[in-house]
Amino acid sequence: MESKKMQGESVPAKLLELRESIDNLDAAIILMLAERFRCTRVIGSLKAEHDLPPSDPDREVQQVVRLRALAANAGLAPDFAEGFHQYVVREVVRHHEQTRRDRAARP
C-alpha cells in the first residue's frame, strides 16, 4: 500500500468522476426510453385502430440483428444488447395489448 499511497488516495476522486459520467448517461438513456415509449404509444393506438397485431416478429428479428451489430461495433456484448431490447419490447407489447383491450371495452 505504501508505494500506492498517492494512487490509493486518488481512487475515490476518480470513482466519483466516473460515477458522474454514469449518472449523466443513465439520465440520457431514461429520457430516450421515455421518448421511445411516446413513439410506441402512438403505434399502439394505430395498431388497435386498424386491428393490426400487437407484436411483429419479423420487425423484431431485424431490430435484434441490427442492434447486435451496433453493440459489437461499440464494444458492448451483443447478448446484453439483445436482452435489453427484449426487456423493452416485452413492455411495448404489453402496452399494445392493453391499448387494444381498452379500445375493445369502450361503450
Q: Which amino acid is at 12?
A: P
Distance of CA 5 to the CA centre of its chain: 41
Binder to a second copy among 53, 91, 102, 103 (CB under 8 A)? 91
Between vectors from CA 53 to CA 51 and to CA 58, what angle results, nearest 5°?
140
Instruction: Figure out which of the listed residues 2, 5, 6, 21 binds a second copy, where binding follows CB under 8 A.
Output: 21
Q: Measured from the CB of residue 73, what is the shortest distance to a second copy in angstroms?
A: 9
Nearest to 63 by CA among 90, 82, 50, 49: 82
From the list 3, 5, 6, 87, which residue makes contact with a second copy (rule: CB under 8 A)?
A: 87
Q: Which is nearer to a second copy, 81 or 100 (CB)?
A: 81
Q: Provide CB contacts within 8 A for 81, sequence distance 6+.
A: 67, 68, 70, 71
d(CA 90, CA 87): 5
Check residue 61 for interaction with a second copy (CB under 8 A): no
Can residue 84 be called a binding residue for a second copy (CB under 8 A)? Answer: yes
Q: Which residues bind a second copy (CB under 8 A)?
A: 8, 11, 14-15, 18-19, 21-23, 25-40, 42-43, 46, 49-50, 52, 59, 63, 66-67, 70-71, 74-77, 80-81, 83-85, 87-88, 91
